[in-house]
Structures are given as C-alpha cells and as structure tokens.
Structure 1
C-alpha cells in the first residue's frame, strides 16, 4: 500500500460531512451560494469568473508592492516556458478589473459584477483563516455618486438579513478622501508617529514609511492611546470629498441602516479612496472583520483602462459561515425527497423508469443500488432522511403498481403508476 498524500497545510477539502477541524459541509456551502445568487440578482449584479492564476504585476500594481499581501503572502513562481512571473490570486478585485479592462466591458456603460471563488495567501492558518480561502465580492463600476455606495451597503444588509445574522454585525464607515488629501494627511501622520518611534512595535515601525495609515489600524492595546490622538484624515478632506461622504451618510440614514463612524478605519490595501467600510462582529474572537470594501476610483486607470469610478466589497466565506452556523438561519438540506427501493427480477429497471419520471417532475430521488432485503433497504431509507419511500417488489411489478410510504407520518398506500405523482404531491401538501 502506498503512503498517504495529505492536503497542503491550510487548504481544506469540502466534504458532505463535517470534519474534525473544518465543520463546514458542501451542502451548507451550496445553500450559501444559492442565497448569494438570489441576493445579487435582486440588485441586477451579473456574475464574472476569472482565472485563479494571474501575472504577478497585476497585484503589484493594484494592491501595492509594500503591502503584506504582495510582500509576504502571495504564492509566486516563474512560468517554465516564457519566464513570466505568475501568482495565485490573493484577492478578487484586481482580477475582476483586469478582465473589465481587457475586454472593454465599460464601453457600453457602467457594470455591476459579482464573483465567488478560491483565493490564496501564505499566512498562518487559524480558525476562519486559511491559505486557500474563498471570497464573495461585488464591484459597481462606472458609478460616481454616493447613492451606489449606499446601495452596495444595502445589498450587504439584505444578505445578512437573509442569512439571519444582521443583528450580530456592526457597520463601520469612514472616508479616505482623494490622493492629494491623503498625501497631506500622510505627511502629518508620519511626523506625528516619528515622535513615538520608540513605542512602536515591529510591524508599526515597518509600516511607518510604507503605509502609515495601517499603523492606526493596529490591534496592539499599548498603542491605542497614541493612535486616538493621531491626526485624523477627515480633518484633511476638501469640500468635494466632504460632500460625497455627507451624501453617503444621508442615504444610509434615509434607508434606516445603522452605522458607526470610525476615523481610524483605513482598510489594508493601497487602492482605496473616499468611502471605506467594514462589517464587524464580536462573535468571532479576534477576527472581528467579516466584510470590507470601499471606493477605488483610480484603480481602473492604473490597470490600463480609461478613468472610471468604482466601489466594491469582499468577504471571506469561511469566516462568515462560522458566524452563520452559530447564529444564523441558513438551512442546508441535502436529503432526498424519496428513497426508492426494489426487489426481484426486472424490478431494478422499472424502478429506474419511475425514478426518472419523478426527477423530471422535480423530486429528488435516491435509488437503492444492488440487491438487499427490503428490511435492509428500509433501514437505509430511514438513514437517508427522505420523507417518502417508494417500494417496488414482485407483487407491485406484476400489477403495474407501487407502494408509497410517508415515513414522517407512517402513512402507506399502494397506487397505480398513473397515480404516483398526484399521490406524492397530495401527501407533501398535507
């Protein structure tokens, strides 16, 4: 027997049953995907699917060379044929916008797009955070006003409501202003933080001259008082940025969406400007952020397209589903409606025909395979969780009839083949 080969550390199999260290099941995951598809369709978003492998330069230009994602966490390698540097995508926005620019999707007007799929970052695996993880994200491209900022928040709120977790999430918002306003604030912030350089931890000292806004996002309790007194970006915003932010808040207020203003909210990627937001929870320990996003009005141009405003968000599915499993109302039902069993010569083929008829009418049918006693088959029917059992033995086969059993109510009847569908529907509606 050959030696077992195990999955790569931090990359999980998604099985029909719970695992010891990974409780999500494929049925629960599929129920979430179906919920997302319904929600995005209601807001007229269309799905886009991009490759998991991209040129490394895409992420250097979009995310930023000095970020932890690009500098430490990407899986990068040289293509053996043409020597291109390639990377497994660490997030979805850059790939989505690369496709939009490459295929000129904005030529005929704004686009609302959503995506879902695996992303890859080489970080320390922990509960809800893995090296292969999955994101759901949405991007509204070509829309300039604060109304679309509010609408994308409303779509998130609708999703949380449908998943049953809205009451466990808090919306935090901020404005990062434009490039010039951020530059003025950055200079003041670097000057301020330099006075505390001896107090900064290793991560904060490294970020001081590469991404000083991230210093304010530190989770180190010893630095909180210093961060609270730091220059605030909102004080550097000009009239246009302030008007956009005020308009955004007015829409949220009008929609009845509760939010908290967090002047230290900066997000982790370099491309954000103006509106930024996060949905956070206190139910997942240190992993507070469930969903985050904001505006990135300059990114499409940076990737070679014509200048266009844009806003989007992304969420880690694994982390979100931990919250949904514990507190939400999402139901994962992978049980068949009917367990079909047979016994005797010629019964298997006829049972397949009946099962095909039922499936064509929208019923989910698990058909027993092989030859076992009806008693043994009935035990499997019970274990399957199916509400109904269909039995085809020699007596039924000879008379063109079938026996139906409602295993939830103990009701049983033998009916003709022509009565099969109507009887099941009547029992289902009782």
Structure 2
C-alpha cells in the first residue's frame, strides 16, 4: 500500500521531529552536537528554509521552521542526514540507518499555535538526555528567543516579532509567556499531530484547508476506523435547510403544492410552458389525476387563484417532482428540486438577485471551483420567433437529407439542430441564421447591462451563444453546470425570464423570472468534492448523566440549555452505558461539548471542549458562560 503524501501549504510553519533508530542515542559527545548544528547551518544556506526554534536532545531533534517550498523541506532534511549520518557511523563503527522511519512533521496555524509550539520546542527535555539543563540551554533556541544571546541561524517569525519592538522587549515578553506551562491537552495534541502528519490548528482553520485539498487534515481517532454509513435522509435535510435559510434571508415566501393535480382541459394550456409538464405522468385510476410535474406551473396556478400575489411577490417551493421517461421499465421517474419564482418585477435587478442567490448558495457549499455559469439572451418572444422561422426556412432545402428525429426537432425546436454533432449538420450550420442578427438594440443593451452588473458583483460567467431555452423563456436564460471530472456537464441549476409565456397563461401582462436547483446532481457533486461538509451534522452538546440518579438532572439541564441556546443541537445520552463509553460515542459523532451532569443540582459539572482539548469542572452558570462565549466567537 503506498504511503500517504505529506501535507504542505505554502507559508505555514512546520514542526519536524527526528527520532533515533530503536530509541538509540543520536549524540554521545559534545562534538556530536556541534557537528549536527554545523550540518543544520549548511542546510539552511543551501535550501530556502527559515529556522524559528530548535532543540537537540540525546535521542530527539525538534525543528520549528518555515520552508519556501515542499522540495526545500525534503532536501533540507536529506542534506542533514547525508552530512551527519556518515560521520556518526564512522566515528562509532556502526552501519545502517540512524533515524527511526521517516521524520515526523505537522503544519501549524501560526496565529493560534506558533508560540505554543515554540514553547514546546524550547522547553522540551528528552528522557535520555544526561545533561538536560546544559544541553537544553546550549543546544536549543531557548536563550535566543529569551533575548539572552543572538544565534545567527535563527530567523524570527512574524508571530514572535509581534511580542515587542526590540529584541530585548520580545525576549522579556517571551520569558513571561514561558512562565505559564503548556497544558497536557495541548502537548498531547502536538504529539498526535506530529505522529499523523496533520495540521495543528483550530477546527475552522482546518476545515478551510480540507476544502482546498479535499482530504482530512485533522488528526483521527486511533484504533480500528469506525465504519461510516452515508445517511441520505440526513444529507437531504441538511441541504434543504441550507437552501431554505438562504431564501429566508432574501425574504422569499415558501408555498407548497399537492402531490396530485387534477387534470382538465385548462391544464393543457398551462402545460405549454414546460416540456416536462407536457409529458407529466398520469395515474391509471377512475379520476383524471396527474403527478406533480415541473414546479413553475404550480406557482402560476397559485398566482392565477390569488390576485394579491400578482403585483409583487417572491415565492419558493421544494419537493419531489415527476416526469415521464421513455425506454425504461418504469413509466416515470422522481426528481427533487428547489424552485424560486418572482412575479411583478420587469427589470434586470430581479435576474441579478437570482444569480447572486445561486452564487451564494454554491459558495456556501464550497462548490464554486467545480461549477460554471453559462448565460445567454434570446430577446423578446417576437424576436426569438422570427429567428426560429428563419431557421425553418433555411433548413427546407436540406429536408431530403434529414433523419426522422431531425424533422421532429425542426418542427418543435429548430434551434437545437445547431448543436447536434453530425458531419452533415456541421457543414449545413456554417451558414445558418444567427440569433444575434434578430435581436433588437433594446434587447442587446439590456443584456449588456446585465453582464456589466455581474462583473461588478465579481460573479464569473461564460456567455454561451448556443444556449437556447428548454422551456419557453425570453430575454435572459442561464444554467449552472458541473465542471468536475467525475460528473462533467451535470445540470445543477436552470432559470430565466418567461414574461410572454406567463402572460399568455394568465391572460394579462405579467413579468416573471425564476429558476430551480436540481438537488439530485447537487448532492452528488457535494459527495464527490466535499464529503467533509456532509459530515458536519454533528451534535453541539451531549449531556451524559454521571449515574442513574443523575438522569433527571441531566434532562433539566438539557431543557434549560435548549431555551438559552435555540440554535444549538443538544442531545441527552439516555443509553445507560458507562461514562467512558458514552464519551467515546460522543467523540466519534463529532460533538464539540461533552458535559457530565452530577445527580444534585448544585454540584459541579465536567465540561469537555473538543476544540481545544480542555476538561474543566465548573458550576452550571459557568458552563452556560462558556457555551455563550463559543457562540460569540
């Protein structure tokens, strides 16, 4: 099995640890220490690395440095080994490796952990060191960072420079910083990150890096990995909640449609907007019924029935839709979408708002590197109709050479012939009419203003002249598609303006713009690109009763916390298992706060914060203060 590639992020300092093979000593005499430091000096001159702290012990070497590149770091370590190991083997008449396996390393979030790691290095004392005090002073950066002397090989990090304006002031502040010993939880976390080549940082910072590299950068639990079963229901609910919260912030009102729609003669007219609705599956029963099809028609029926919504209204819907499928065992298939419709807005501002909403939604899912926005304009209904008529007239001389499916397309949607890959059509389409020749100056100006606004909003897009409406859109139409290699060209969102079609259906002039998120391909793309995002559905707080008598008090504490922190997810552990088993289950589920509740109300609780590893005993009011501080942070 190939070993995992080391993590590297440009600009992040790294902690390096070199261990002696089989816990043997790396240095036995004073000369060995001096020779090793000379090797470090030569490596620093040969490769672009900045050394911030170091500790050379009998069997362990710790280096805190910032490499300019990933190659500089690996060659820096190799150069030290090629210079020192032959010297050591010749001197003590030995052969073979001196280091134990590969060197251990971890990357460090500088703003949160640099000074703590520097303290860990400067105060590190190996168990096998015979001259702990002496070697810790002479063969470490302790004296330099405390301002007692100047070591030329050292380079101060920005976090260290912020301690003071002068070296003396920085040294004094660093000494004061060393007075506070590192907590055992922080030391354990540093050692764990070193062993697993992880990032030592806050959860928010590590989460940001995970989205960049699409792999876990935080340390994992030791032991056999627990199986992770994908919960489709949880994923769907999480995605729908993300979308609904976004739409609420934009002040859109949710509406709901029935699963079955009554089919009558009027429905034939309303189905004219969408190709999906024309083929909507009917049910074989005594009543004429139709499974819910494309959601836009449901919105139009609501608008037609409620006159007060026709002036200015912003609506959205969510749910399962159905469409007929030809050539499969089942007559129809189910798909899910979130639709947004705005009625009574005739300028480009509403279209910009819709595109901005879509961009915000995909940005919140960290999908922007894997998607692209395609946009086009087809002008007014009259302009696009003239374009279609010109295409039909142009293709007439070539009808004897057309295949049967092409003839059907020519009657219904002739513009689709322009994008069919075929040698004959490629030749014929070279002189076919262009849509831009039929657009008026007003339509062209309108579209140009829309693009200028997108540029000001810094939303990337691609004008696609071959993008034609699937439904009866006019003016602006757009599509968001996936560019990921595992799901190329998957349709994630589609929308546009359909004033003319809605006006025909409602019998009066109506300005309408809308779009729909295709949830099925969206969640597939999330599972492909950002699996960590779906696993964030962890419980915020888990309450574990100390014993059976504490179960009642735990329920009371949970009820109070739910009242004070309505946005927190709070779980009472009612399993009745031992505390250690309950604690492990909470950690595996990703819970941040684990609270052990005593039997009596006034007794102290035990609070564990998994973000910083702190375990504290406090009363209930102090615990509430800690939770409140986490909300503000």
TM-score, scaled to structure 1: 0.78
Q: Which residue of 1 aligns with 2:304?
A: 101
Who wins on radius of gyration, i.e. which is larger? 2
Q: Which residue of 2 aligns with 1:267?
A: 469
Match of 2:385 in 1: 183
Alignment partner, residue 6 of structure 1: none
Give the one of 195, 213, 229 matched to 2:415: 213
In the alignment, is residue 39 of structure 1 matched against residue 39 of structure 2?
no
Could you say what secondary structure the match of 1:298 adopts?
A: helix
When residues 201 and 355 of structure 1 are mapped into structure 2, their CA distance, relative to the original with a 3 A threshold, is farther
- Equivalent of residue 272 in structure 2, options 60, 64, 72: 64
Q: Distance in 2 between matches of 1:334 and 1:125?
A: 39
- The alpha carbon displacement at 1:95 in A equals 0.8
Aligned 8 A contact 1:124 1:131 in 2 = no
Q: Distance in 2 between matches of 1:125 and 1:424?
A: 57
| Post-superposition CA distance 1:254-298 (Å, at most 9, x none) | 4444433323221212x2122222223322545443222221112
Question: Does 2:619 correspond to 1:379?
Answer: no
Secondary structure at the residue paired with 2:411? coil
Distance 1:234 1:53, change over 3 A: farther
Change (3 A) 1:256 1:347: closer
> 1:159-238 maps to which residues of 2 (within 5 A)?
159-197=361-399, 200=402, 203-218=405-420, 223-224=425-426, 226-227=428-429, 229-238=431-440
Q: Equivalent residue of 1:208, what SS?
A: helix
For the 8 Å contact 1:27–1:332, the answer to whether it is kept is no
Matches within 5 A, 1:391-410: 391-392=596-597, 396-397=599-600, 400-407=603-610, 409-410=612-613
Alignment of 1:246-285 (within 5 A): 246-269=448-471, 271-283=472-484, 285=487
Q: Which has the higher helix share?
A: 2
Distance 1:150 1:213 in 2: 26
> Is the contact made by 1:27 and 1:333 (CA closer than 8 Å) also made in structure 2?
no
| Secondary structure of 2:412's aligned partner | coil
SS at match of 1:135: strand
Name the structure 1 match of 2:350.
148
Structure 1 counterpart of 2:551: 348
1:77 to 283, 292, 305: 283
Residue aligned with 2:354, SS:
helix
1:51 alignment counterpart: 258
Structure 1 residue 90: Cα displacement: 2.4
Distance apart, 1:103 and its partner CA: 0.9
Runs of 5+ consecutive residues of structure 1 not aligned to the other structure:
1-16
Contact kept, 8 Å, 1:52 with 1:88, in 2: the verdict is yes
Q: State which of 558, 563, 568 in structure 2 corresponds to 1:360.
A: 563
Report deviation, 1:316. Answer: 0.3
Match of 1:420 among 603, 617, 623: 623
Give 1:399 shift: 6.5
Paired positions, count: 399
Separation (CA, whole Å) in 1 of partners of 2:630 and 2:492: 42
CA distance in 2, matches of 1:106, 1:263: 34
Give per-residue Cα distances to partners, 1:20-74, cap 9 Å, x unaligned: xxx6744443443343234334444333322233234566434439x753454x2
Superposed CA deviations along residues 116-154 of structure 1, whole A, max 9, x for unmatched, are 22211233899xxx9222112222221222333333223
Q: Give the structure, 1 or 2, with the largest relative contact order (CA under 8 Å, sep 6 or more).
A: 1
Quote the Cα distance in structure 1 between the aligned partners of 2:334 and 2:469. Answer: 21
CA gap of 1:68–1:235, structure 2 versus 1, over 3 A, is: same
Distance 1:167 1:288 in 2: 14
Query: For the Cα contact (< 8 Å) 1:54–1:95, is it kept in 2?
Result: no
What pairs up with 1:244-323 in 2 under 5 angstroms? 244-269=446-471, 271-283=472-484, 285=487, 287-323=489-525
- Map Cα deviations across residues 52-103 of structure 1 (whole Å, 9 max, x no partner): 33234566434439x753454x2212663xx3x3222222111111111211
Q: Measure the CA separation in 1 of the matches of 2:550 and 2:457.
A: 60
Pair 215,62 (structure 1): closer, same or farther in 2 beyond 3 Å: farther
Which moved further from structure 2: 23-32 or 89-98?
23-32
Gaps of 5+ in 2: 1-226
C-alpha change, 1:249 and 1:387, in structure 2 (3 Å) is closer
